[in-house]
Amino acid sequence: MKKRNLTILASFLIIVAVAGAIAGYASLFNRPLKIDKPTFIYIDNDDNIDSVCHKLQTRLHASSLTGFRLLATYTDYDKHIHTGAYRFNPETQTWNIFRTLQRGSQTPVKLTVPSVRTIGRLCKAVSNQLMTDSAEIARILADSAYCASLGYNAYTLPALFIPNTYEVYWNISAQEFIARMQKEHRRFWNDKRQNQAKAIGLTPTEVSTLASIVDEETANNAEKPIVAGLYINRLRQDMPLQADPTVKFSLQDFGLRRILNKHLATDSPYNTYIYKGLPPGPIRIPSIQGLESVLNHAHHDYLYMCAKEDFSGTHNFARTLSQHLANARRYQQALNRRNIR
């Protein structure tokens, strides 16, 4: 009888062990994610095992994390949590979810560097897409010694950035972000483009400066090479650029609809009505279209431009001052009719 009881007990223990093994296997190799497409979770510096699990549940709708917590306990994952962005597919098993997070095997994210008017706006736009804080990026870019080590100063710094969409890791540091921008700047300014700039008589930074004015003058990409050609004509004839956007920049008033004589009198190195040549640096981070419009500018003999009186955002171009004054009168009359001051 005793032998029979021992046999029953042994059989029971085996059944329990097998059941436990099956349950354990199921908890490790189940597919807990209730999502219908690949989805990211973002692990921050202040995350712990509980917040990681919370993100798995809320962002990826994980139905069971028993196996994940079991693995985390036996591997001390809570002491070695890696920051980053991680993308998971609906069919991903618990084991693979854990191993991806444990190894820090991030998925690159798309970072869009925009063409914006100020470095401050750039910092904010970048930090909205990355873990890096905007204040940290701004602090580094405000360091004159650091900027000088990159070959820039406070005036020319916007020329460093080439607006585009890049693949980066979400937890990239501010320093790594700037280093990546340097790399992309060198990639953009290949031998072909450098030779194009040299043929115009400009450095890459000067091309960026002129491109920033072109971008501010018109949002019409078809017009940009014409506008660029006009300013190049003025530079070659030693004429002031007389670009209204540089006056707005000098005043830091980008909403001005009408440039008056009092605005034109503003004493600033950016005021191209007072000072000949290009301003000391870009008045915004120029777009690739703006840069290409300067490098591949239209060849013509226009010297003057004025916004069209239909407020279409395009311009009337003129070869002579008398033609330009006629265009300007029509535009001023249109402003008056709309009571734009």
Whole-number pLDDT of residue 200: 96
Whole-number pLDDT of residue 126: 97
Q: Say if residues 82 and 43 touch (Cβ distance below 8 Å).
A: yes
Whole-number pLDDT of residue 170: 96
Whole-number pLDDT of residue 17: 37
Whole-number pLDDT of residue 233: 97
Whole-number pLDDT of residue 256: 78
Whole-number pLDDT of residue 53: 93
Question: Measured between alpha carbons, how far apart are the two ends of the chain, in Å?
Answer: 108
Closest CA to 212 of 288, 283, 311, 148: 283
Closest CA to 52 of 79, 92, 74, 89: 79
SS3 per residue for the chain? CHHHHHHHHHHHHHHHHHHHHHHHHHHHHCCCECCCCCEEEEECCCCCHHHHHHHHHHHCCECCCHHHHHHHHHHCHHHCCCCEEEEECCCCCHHHHHHHHHHCCCCCEEEEECCCCCHHHHHHHHHCCCCCCHHHHHHHHCCHHHHHHHCCCCCCHHHHCCCEEEEECCCCCHHHHHHHHHHHHHHHCCHHHHHHHHHHCCCHHHHHHHHHHHHHHCCCCCCHHHHHHHHHHHHHCCCCCCCHHHHHHHHCCCCCCCCCHHHHCCCCCCCCCCCCCCCCCCCCCCCHHHHHHHHCCCCCCCCEEEECCCCCCCEEEECCHHHHHHHHHHHHHHHHHCCCC
Whole-number pLDDT of residue 340: 74
**Domains of the chain with bracketed CATH:** 25-103 (3.30.1490), 109-188 (no CATH), 192-300 (no CATH)
In whole angstroms, what is the distance from residue 283 CA to residue 246 CA?
7
What is the number of other CB atoms lying within 10 angstroms of the CB of residue 309? 17
Reported pTM:
0.84
Instruction: Name beta bridge partners: 109.
Output: 168
pLDDT along the chain (341 residues), means of 10: 45 37 55 90 94 93 88 88 95 91 95 95 96 95 94 96 97 96 97 97 97 95 96 96 92 79 86 95 97 97 90 89 90 84 67
Q: Say if residues 192 and 204 touch (Cβ distance below 8 Å).
A: no
Q: Say if residues 243 and 303 touch (Cβ distance below 8 Å).
A: no
